[in-house]
């Protein structure tokens, strides 16, 4: 006769065998950064706050003909006016992309852009249209990168997809106003040379971005020309004080807890 104890042991063996056969489900932690960008109305409120503040500041910065948002370019100028905006997380939100595009590559980003409709950052279209009404041109300086695509004769098909993306959020633009990495030989991930390019023909009155590099040169862990030294957490904090008068006064930063140059500096 089988004892109660034996029955318990046999049952336990079968239970363990069943557990061994079933693959262990990984416990996935929620990514609070992506959840926040995707669902927090706080994010949308901050974006609206940034762009409505900038819209109010337009009158003063347009009127001050000696003002420039680019350090070193102050002084009287009669050039046409411009603002410079980054694209990802400044004009369009990439929360869907962050959820689906692992591992990231420029090629996969290009393909994703072709097949997904842009999510607008709140307030940006209203701002750009208000700026245009005051005669201020908008340039888009993005680290989307020119990469030839097989079967496509365009050397930079990413430019058209970026223009289309910006159009989807209600901002009409063209190739002269969208500046990508690799479009010119000296246009690399360091955005300084592209800001200087716009400044050759325009008085730049405002900068917009979600990354420190959209404002401050040489703020990336992997330096690109003309920068030679890797940025550090300490060097970035130092720059915060150097340029303290610009924040909210010509420089307007949007939040991005999901990715950015801040993640790789030490
Ligand atoms: Mg960005």
Helix axis angle, 41-63 relative to 32-39, nearest 10°?
Answer: 70
Q: What is the pLDDT of residues 181-227, one digit of tens each?
A: 999 999 999 999 999 999 999 999 999 999 999 999 999 999 999 99
Q: Tokens for 247? A: 């924040």
Q: Rounded mean pLDDT of 227-234?
A: 95
Annotate the chain with three-state secondary structure.
CCCHHHHHHHHHHHHHHHHHHCCCCCCCCCCHHHHHHHHCHHHHHHHHHHHHHHHHHHHHHHHCCCCCCCCCCCCCCCCCEEEEECCECCCEECHHHHHHCCCCCHHHHHHHHHHCCCEECCCHHHHHHHHHHCCEEEEEEEEEECCCCCCCCCCCHHHHHHHHHHHHCCCCCCHHHEEEECCCCCCCCCCHHHHHHHHCCCEEEEEEECCHHHCCCCCCCCCCCCCCCCCCHHHHHHHHHHCCCCECCCEEECCCCCCCHHHCCC
Residue 264's pLDDT band (boundaries 50, 70, 90)?
A: very high
Q: How many angstroms does the Cα of residue 89 sit away from the middle of ligand 1? A: 5
Is 58 inside any structural domain? yes
Q: How many angstroms does the Cα of residue 194 sit away from the middle of ligand 1? A: 15
Q: How many angstroms does the Cα of residue 119 sit away from the middle of ligand 1? A: 14
Is 79 inside any structural domain? yes
Q: What is the pLDDT of residues 66-81, one digit of tens each?
A: 999 999 999 999 999 9
Q: How many angstroms does the Cα of residue 1 sit away from the middle of ligand 1? A: 74
- The answer to whether 195 touches 140, Cβ cutoff 8 Å, is no
Report residues near ion ligand 1: CB below 5 Å: 86, 88-89, 210
Query: By C-alpha distance, which of 243, 246, 247, 213 is closest to 230?
Result: 213
Phi, psi of 255 (to 5 degrees): -80, 145
Query: By C-alpha distance, which of 206, 195, 247, 201 is closest to 59?
Result: 206
Q: How many domains does the chain have?
A: 1
Is 170 inside any structural domain? yes
Q: What is the pLDDT of residues 124-165, one digit of tens each?
A: 999 999 999 999 999 999 999 999 888 889 999 999 999 999
Q: Rounded mean pLDDT of 233-240?
A: 95
Q: How many angstroms does the Cα of residue 252 sit away from the middle of ligand 1? A: 12
d(Cα 101, Cα 177) in Å, to the nearest integer? Answer: 27
Q: How many angstroms does the Cα of residue 165 sit away from the middle of ligand 1? A: 14
Q: How many angstroms does the Cα of residue 49 sit away from the middle of ligand 1? A: 18
Q: How many angstroms does the Cα of residue 36 sit away from the middle of ligand 1? A: 16
Is 40 inside any structural domain? yes
Q: What is the mean pLDDT of the chain?
A: 89
Q: How many angstroms does the Cα of residue 219 sit away from the middle of ligand 1? A: 14
CATH of the domain at 191: 3.40.50.1000
d(Cα 146, Cα 156) in Å, to the nearest integer? Answer: 5
d(Cα 220, Cα 211) in Å, to the nearest integer? Answer: 10
The CA-atom distances, in angstroms, between 189 and each of 92, 179, 264 are 19, 11, 15
Is 234 inside any structural domain? no
- The answer to whether 259 touches 98, Cβ cutoff 8 Å, is yes
pLDDT higher than 90, residue 247: yes
d(Cα 128, Cα 85) in Å, to the nearest integer? Answer: 10
Q: How many angstroms does the Cα of residue 47 sit away from the middle of ligand 1? A: 13
Residue 20's pLDDT band (boundaries 50, 70, 90)?
A: low
**What pLDDT, on a 0 to 100 scale, did the predictor assign at position 23?**
65
pLDDT higher than 70, residue 14: no
Q: How many angstroms does the Cα of residue 4 sit away from the middle of ligand 1? A: 66
pLDDT higher than 80, residue 24: no
Q: How many angstroms does the Cα of residue 256 sit away from the middle of ligand 1? A: 8
Q: How many angstroms does the Cα of residue 72 sit away from the middle of ligand 1? A: 24
pLDDT higher than 60, residue 123: yes
Q: How many angstroms does the Cα of residue 6 sit away from the middle of ligand 1? A: 65
Q: β-strand 203-209 against 178-181: which pairing, if any?
A: unpaired
Is 8 inside any structural domain? no
- The vertex-125 CA angle with 122 and 128, nearest 5°, equals 125
Is 99 inside any structural domain? yes
Q: Domain span at residue 190? A: 31-216+241-256
């Amino acid at each position: 006769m089988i004892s109660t104890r034996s029955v318990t042991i046999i049952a336990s063996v079968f239970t363990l065998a069943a557990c061994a056969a079933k693959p262990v489900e990984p416990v996935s932690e929620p990514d609070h950064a992506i959840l926040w960008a995707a669902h927090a109305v706080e994010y949308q409120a901050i974006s609206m706050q940034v762009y409505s503040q900038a819209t109010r500041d337009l009158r003063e910065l347009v009127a001050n003909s000696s003002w420039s948002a680019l350090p070193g370019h102050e002084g009287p100028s009669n050039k046409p006016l411009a603002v410079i905006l980054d694209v990802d997380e400044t004009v369009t939100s990439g929360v869907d992309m962050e959820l689906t595009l692992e591992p990231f590559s420029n090629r996969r980003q290009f393909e994703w852009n072709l097949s997904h409709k842009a999510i607008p950052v709140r307030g940006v279209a209203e701002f750009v249209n208000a700026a245009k009404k005051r005669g201020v041109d908008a340039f888009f300086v993005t680290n989307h990168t020119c990469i030839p695509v097989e079967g496509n004769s365009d050397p930079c098909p990413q430019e058209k997809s970026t223009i289309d993306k910006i159009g989807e959020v209600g901002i009409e633009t063209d190739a002269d106003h969208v500046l990508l990495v690799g479009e010119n030989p000296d246009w690399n991930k360091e955005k300084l040379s592209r800001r200087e390019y716009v400044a050759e023909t325009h008085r730049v009155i405002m900068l917009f971005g979600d990354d420190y590099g959209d404002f401050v040169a040489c703020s990336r862990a992997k330096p690109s020309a003309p920068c030679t030294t890797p940025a550090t957490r300490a060097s970035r904090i130092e720059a915060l004080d150097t340029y303290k008068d610009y924040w909210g006064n010509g420089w307007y930063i949007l939040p991005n807890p999901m990715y950015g140059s801040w993640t790789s500096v030490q």
